[in-house]
């Protein structure tokens, strides 16, 4: 008896945007890619992690981030979703 196995692959894309918020696209120097940066609250919404867990990962250098102004934190989605190396490069 022959058996045929059919495999389906599904590719999903996630779009995130808060009302009245502008998308900040700039280069992440750590993963060398142009990305749409996320705020910590957007990161919580798309990952179902807690805000505390997001900040824990930032403090542990597991996420790429930038501070565009004092107190304004942005997170690279590539590091958040594991698309790139999560370790930060040492500062020169």
Each of the 92 residues of the chain gets a pLDDT tens digit; together they read 888 888 888 776 665 555 556 667 888 989 888 888 998 988 998 888 999 999 999 999 999 999 877 778 999 999 988 754 444 444 44
Nearest to 80 by CA among 32, 24, 42: 42
Beta-ladder partners of 38? 75
Total domains present in the chain: 1
* Gap between the Cα atoms of 26 and 30, Å rounded: 12
With respect to residue 16, please indicate whether it lies within any of the assigned structural domains. Answer: no
**Do the Cβ atoms of 58 and 52 come closer than 8 Å?**
no
With respect to residue 3, please indicate whether it lies within any of the assigned structural domains. Answer: no
With respect to residue 18, please indicate whether it lies within any of the assigned structural domains. Answer: no
């Amino acid at each position: 008896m022959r058996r045929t196995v059919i495999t389906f692959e599904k590719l999903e894309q996630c779009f995130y945007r808060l009302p009245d918020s502008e998308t900040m696209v700039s280069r992440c120097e750590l993963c060398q890619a142009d990305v749409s940066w996320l705020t910590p609250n957007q990161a919580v919404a798309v990952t179902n992690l807690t805000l505390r867990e997001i900040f824990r990962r930032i403090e542990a250098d597991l996420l790429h981030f930038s501070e565009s102004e004092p107190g304004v934190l942005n997170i690279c989605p590539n590091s958040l979703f594991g698309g790139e190396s999560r370790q930060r490069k040492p500062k020169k």
